[in-house]
């Protein structure tokens, strides 16, 4: 059978491939410490689960509109109006099956064959593949570890081409934890507005920013960017709702309508019960988010210094999300490997520690280590890494 050229261009998800391999090894009896998957180890808040259960009891189990329940879309628009002063209306909101579904629909609606989309590296592994599946070409722009992996207008300007249509900006960033401040956003917005680029802001980790640093949403750029601004987010990480598959996009009406057309022929809609749960999450108490943030901060306070103490590892402290992104090229010689992919494979094979190699994020030489796992699990994982390095030296 001959497969389409588009699907042949796209690579499998690095993070989901890591999960699948870990599941296979665990089923075969391996003793694994999993620091690979970006999934909160917290339960979905009780009031959110009860809202879904109540909706089920009321037989609220049928189709909604493709765009999502009007009351939920209104609540999402209100969130950005109250917090950021944005003027999105409910008709500028698309509720989707996760942020991944929202982003896919937006890119399919926006990108034509041969269009280019700028992506800052390290990047979430689905960005370039979604662009390829739309017939577009990703333009990967490296960021610098010395600058905290922050995207910059200067780096974007150096890669401008006549075919560049959009730029994706992820803050807080998966995998680096970098957090873009107001000045950085303003510079990017000014350049994008001057060059007619659409800015797609991925804000999935917005609830998790540390050290009192304020989260700055791309929504504050609306006065500058107008109809060239798109916000994508989800409830998966913030409310520990990964399996509920609930995300959304906000943007110009014509683009949101077009993305809804894509969704209508794909997922049809986000799951109805998940939408009911999501409404309770957004409009109910936000205390669970604070508790999760405090716990993630406690884990980060252990993990980053512990990694930095291992000879051969360098690790920038993440300012947001729940990942450390250490540079491990200094371990190549003692471990007898030639890449971070080989290092990750060795850690699983000989230490039983699951991480994700930087190659999947456009950043060879690094590993993504998740602290969305309990502190005892993280401590055990670091101890295993230390022991392996000590044995190999």
Instruction: Annotate 150-209 with DSSP letters as a single string.
Output: ---HHHHHTT--TTEEEEEEESS-TTT-----HHHHHHHHHHHHHHTPEEEEE-TTTT-B
Query: Which residue positions in the chain have pLDDT lower than 50?
Result: none
Residue 371 burial (10 A CB sphere; 0-12, 13-18, 19+): buried
Q: Same fold for the domain at 5-43+287-392 and the one at 46-283?
A: no
152 Cβ contact list (under 8 Å, min separation 6): 143, 184, 187, 188
User: Would you call 18 helix, strand, or coil by DSSP?
Assistant: helix
Q: What is the architecture, at CATH level 2, of domain 46-283?
A: 3-Layer(aba) Sandwich (3.40)
Q: What integer pLDDT is reported at residue 28 of this predicted model?
A: 79
Residue 60 burial (10 A CB sphere; 0-12, 13-18, 19+): middle
Mind spelling out the 3-state secondary structure of 213-259? CCCCCHHHHHHHHHHHEEEEEECCCCCCCHHHCCEEEECCHHHHHHH
Residue 166 burial (10 A CB sphere; 0-12, 13-18, 19+): buried
Backbone angles phi and psi of 357, in degrees to 5: -70, 145
* pTM of the predicted model over 0.85: yes
Structure tokens that stand for 34 in this block:
């999993």
Backbone angles phi and psi of 45, in degrees to 5: -55, 145
Structure tokens that stand for 367 in this block:
């590993």
What Å distances lie between residue 296 and 150, 177, 241, CA to CA? 21, 12, 16
Q: What integer pLDDT is reported at residue 14 of this predicted model?
A: 67
Q: What integer pLDDT is reported at residue 36 of this predicted model?
A: 92
Partners of 369 in the beta sheet?
324
Residue spans per domain, the chain: 5-43+287-392, 46-283
> For 113-165, what is each residue's pLDDT tens digit?
999 999 999 999 999 999 999 999 999 999 999 999 999 999 999 999 999 99
**Would you identify the CATH topology of the domain 5-43+287-392?**
3.90.1150
CB-CB contact of 277 with 244 (8 Å): yes
Q: What integer pLDDT is reported at residue 213 of this predicted model?
A: 95
CB-CB contact of 354 with 313 (8 Å): no
2 Cβ contact list (under 8 Å, min separation 6): none
């Amino acid at each position: 059978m001959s497969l389409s050229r588009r699907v042949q261009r796209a690579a499998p998800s690095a993070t989901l491939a890591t999960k699948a391999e870990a599941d296979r090894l665990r089923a075969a009896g391996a003793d694994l410490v999993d620091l690979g998957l970006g999934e909160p180890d917290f339960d979905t808040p009780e009031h959110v689960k009860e809202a879904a259960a109540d909706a089920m009891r009321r037989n609220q189990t049928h189709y909604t509109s493709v765009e999502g329940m009007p009351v939920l879309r209104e609540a999402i628009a209100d969130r950005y109006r109250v917090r950021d002063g944005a003027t999105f209306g409910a008709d500028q909101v698309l509720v989707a099956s996760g942020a991944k579904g929202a982003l896919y629909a937006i890119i399919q609606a926006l990108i034509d064959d041969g269009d280019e989309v700028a992506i800052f590296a390290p990047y979430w592994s689905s960005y370039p593949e979604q662009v390829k599946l739309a017939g577009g070409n990703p333009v990967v722009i490296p960021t610098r570890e010395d600058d905290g992996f922050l995207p910059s207008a200067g780096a974007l300007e150096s890669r401008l081409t006549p075919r560049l249509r959009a730029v994706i900006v992820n803050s807080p960033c998966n995998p680096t934890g970098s957090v873009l401040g107001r000045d950085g956003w303003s510079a990017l917005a000014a350049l994008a507005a001057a060059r007619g680029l659409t800015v797609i802001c991925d804000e999935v980790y917005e609830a998790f920013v540390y050290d009192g640093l304020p989260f700055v949403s791309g929504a504050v750029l609306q006065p500058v960017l107008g109809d060239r601004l798109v916000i994508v987010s989800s409830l998966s990480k913030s409310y520990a709702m990964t399996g509920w598959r609930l995300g959304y996009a906000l943007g110009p009406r014509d683009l949101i309508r077009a993305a809804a057309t894509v969704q209508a022929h794909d997922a049809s809609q986000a799951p109805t019960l998940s939408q009911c749960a999501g409404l309770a999450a957004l409009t109910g108490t936000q205390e669970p988010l604070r508790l999760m943030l405090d716990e993630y901060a406690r884990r980060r306070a252990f993990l980053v210094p512990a990694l930095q103490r291992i000879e051969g590892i360098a690790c920038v402290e993440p300012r947001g999300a729940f990942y450390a992104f250490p540079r491990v090229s200094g371990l190549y010689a003692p471990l007898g490997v030639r890449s971070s992919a080989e290092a990750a494979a060795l850690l699983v094979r000989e230490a039983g520690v699951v991480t994700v190699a930087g190659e999947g994020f456009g950043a060879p030489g690094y590993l993504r280590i998740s602290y969305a796992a309990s502190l005892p699990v993280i401590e055990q994982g670091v101890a295993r890494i230390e022991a392996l390095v000590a044995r190999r030296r």
